[in-house]
Structure 1
Amino acid sequence: MSSIMKGTTDNGLLLPEPDEDGAPFWEFAARGELRVQGCADCHALRFPPRPCCPRCRSFAGEWRRMSGRGHLWSYVLPHPPLLPAYAQQAPYNVVVVELADAPRIRLVGNVVAAPDAPLDSVDPARLRIGAPLRVAFTELAEGVTVPRWLLERP
């Protein structure tokens, strides 16, 4: 995978800045795979990624493929003042998604109408805690792909 650019996209959206432990998450996302780090010894999943298992303290890690399904655990609708690129799309949603196959694993993202749709593409009135979601991947910049979420039943 090409190196992940730091900073912002051409239109001013922020790009992820992965560290050594989290880099595989972004590499899998670029391939359209949602994977979560797990312990190779006790098999506990963990997110965010880190070098040591908080359960058994093992340094043996692995990346397990997830189904890409989850549900809306929480959300917020940011309003200005925001960075200019985000203020133009406000109000948009920022969600916490609990994964169906790993109930204690929660990821932050956005619910959008389609993978490449703008952040404000879903009417906030359609968001409900517990709503079923599925992952979609969006290339924000060359070599930078992020997971976003689609309502399972639009």
Structure 2
Amino acid sequence: MTDTVRVWRHIQQRYNLIGSKCTNCGRVFFPPRVICPDCRRKGNIEDIKFSGKGKIYTYSIVRSPSSDFKMEAPYAVAIIELEEGAKLTAQLVDTDIDNINIGDPVEMVFRKISEDGPDGVISYGYKFKVVK
């Protein structure tokens, strides 16, 4: 039950890439924050909807995953630097894992993240694909 509640609580972040921006120093963050970790200001934070476009900052190929992701291996996980400056971690999909380069342009796509049993809740969220 707790996992279902967590999924619904984070639905804006998963479906819209909603982060936050400090109106004092201009830094942007994902996931959203209530206090800016740089200038330590509270109350100067506003929501920002990211474009979903960015570039690969760094990446790793997962060849020995946990049991939950055995069927997907091998797969790539990357730190994505969004156009707006925030960084986030996401799986790369629809991409040849042998042809990934740091700096490749990417865009967000929606994909299935997990399924809680055959009759359970299906969680969807963001992943990224390389666009050339």
**Is the TM-score greater than 0.5?**
yes
Over 3 Å counting, the alpha-carbon distance change for 1:57 and 1:29 in structure 2 is closer
Q: Which digits, 9 at most, give the CA deviation of each residue in 1:96-117, with x for residues without a partner?
A: 1111122xx211011111xxxx
Note the 1:50-89 alignment, pairs <5 A. 50-60=33-43, 61-80=45-64, 82-89=65-72
Map of 1:33 onto structure 2: 16
Q: Distance in 1 between matches of 2:11 and 2:4?
A: 13
Q: Contact 2:18/2:30 (CA < 8 Å) preserved in 1?
A: no
Map of 1:98 onto structure 2: 81
Q: Distance in 1 between matches of 2:3 and 2:42?
A: 25
Q: Distance in 2 between matches of 1:129 and 1:41?
A: 31
Q: Distance in 1 between matches of 2:25 and 2:129?
A: 32
SS in 1 for 2:75: coil
Over 3 Å counting, the alpha-carbon distance change for 1:145 and 1:40 in structure 2 is farther
Q: Distance in 1 between matches of 2:131 and 2:109?
A: 11
Post-superposition offset of 1:73: 0.9
Map of 2:88 onto structure 1: 107
Q: Contact 2:13/2:19 (CA < 8 Å) preserved in 1?
A: no
Map of 1:118 onto structure 2: none
Root-mean-square deviation over aligned CA pairs: 2.5
Q: TM-score, normalised by structure 2?
A: 0.76
| Identity across matched positions, percent | 24
Alignment length (residue pairs): 123
Q: Contact 2:16/2:49 (CA < 8 Å) preserved in 1?
A: yes
Q: Which digits, 9 at most, give the CA deviation of each residue in 1:73-104, with x for residues without a partner?
A: 11111122x322312221111111111122xx
Which blocks of at least 5 consecutive residues in structure 2 are unaligned?
Answer: 116-120
SS in 1 for 2:81: strand
Q: Contact 2:92/2:129 (CA < 8 Å) preserved in 1?
A: yes
